[in-house]
Amino acid sequence: MESRTKRSTCAGRRLVIKSPAKINLYLNLLGRYPVPTPSGIQSYHEIESIVERISLCDRIVIAVRADRRITFVSDCSDLPARKNTCVQAARLMQKEYGISAGFDICLKKNIPVGAGLGGGSSNAASVILGICSLLGLQLSRDRLFLLGEQIGSDVNFFLAQTPFAVMRGRGEKISPFQGHRFLHTVVWPGVYCSTKKVYARVTRKLTKIFDNVKILRYAIKNGDVQLSQRTAFNALEQPALEAYPGLRRAKCCLHGIDRYVRISGSGSALYTMGAKRISSSFRLHNFAVYRVHTF
């Protein structure tokens, strides 16, 4: 009861948070495994991925309310007020820690939706971390990860607050590491990719058997751009290109500028690695172009 009262006295406190995107430098599919869920046994793809946090960020403002109501506003019409990861995260915190306060959440969206950049997962992690800061909750990384697993596969990467990490399992198992600061150009061609549709096109033939994780991790730690490019891999890239012809055309267009062009996650964002700049003239193709770095 005392903790509930203490948390309700935080009403009026406000916090502004940067919610960063990510790119997958490596993504391999190792197989499938069953996971018990409230609705029964579900089969999940087991992944192994190296992810990098980048400087393309959404902006989230969280204010504490005296009542338990949660409000959400955003400049993005694609995010419903009641069903989005920010609200899910706030409700989960109320439930798990008996929080009597509510929250007003305002999201300014800069990360494209459905681009494979982890925007929704990052938003959820940012709300969890923001609420912890506002209410003075000292949660261990393990307790944070238990929260993240309940929301989405990539959430734990952002909860780890690390520039690089190896992700395993469904993406919930995180091994953070430090590395060289890279420069990238991220291009969003205005295509929305359905993760479910992309995964539906995956076959065992498309998945590489060898493991480049150790080599790529070494390259990142030493800032070796060429070795990073040679060992980067995304098992979902070919299925995404087959599922979305517009994405294939965008990659072909960018390939004429930089031979190293990769898709992040299940798409549709593409990125290059290194100092070469992609001309802003690609905006004429309705491409959004972002110059970013390791964050």
> pLDDT truncated to tens, each residue of the chain (295 aa)?
344 444 556 888 999 999 999 999 999 998 877 766 667 777 778 899 999 999 999 999 999 999 999 999 999 987 877 789 999 999 999 999 999 999 999 999 999 998 999 999 999 999 999 999 999 999 999 999 999 999 998 999 999 999 999 999 999 999 999 999 999 999 999 999 998 899 988 875 555 556 789 999 999 999 999 999 999 999 999 999 999 999 999 998 887 777 789 999 999 999 998 866 665 555 556 789 999 999 9
Taking the model in full, what pTM does it have?
Answer: 0.91
- Catalytic residue, candidates 22, 58, 109, 251: 22
Chosen domain end from 176, 203, 224: 176
Q: Are residues 166 and 191 in the same domain?
A: no
pLDDT at 121: 97
CATH code for the domain of 12 = 3.30.230.10
| 22 classed as catalytic | yes
Chosen domain end from 116, 142, 176: 176
Tally of CB atoms within 10 A around 40: 7
Q: Are residues 12 and 135 in the same domain?
A: yes
Q: Are residues 139 and 198 in the same domain?
A: no
Q: Are residues 196 and 51 in the same domain?
A: no
Sign of CA dihedral 177, 50, 250, 45: negative
The total domain count for the chain is 2
* Beta strands in 75-182, from DSSP E residues, in sequence order: 102-108, 164-169, 173-177
> How far apart are the C-alpha atoms of 291 and 275, rounded to whole Å?
10
Chosen domain end from 176, 195, 226: 176
90 burial class (0-12, 13-18, 19+ CB within 10 angstroms)?
Answer: buried
> How far apart are the C-alpha atoms of 57 and 268, rounded to whole Å?
17
- Catalytic residue, candidates 58, 109, 154, 251: 154
Q: Are residues 256 and 285 in the same domain?
A: yes
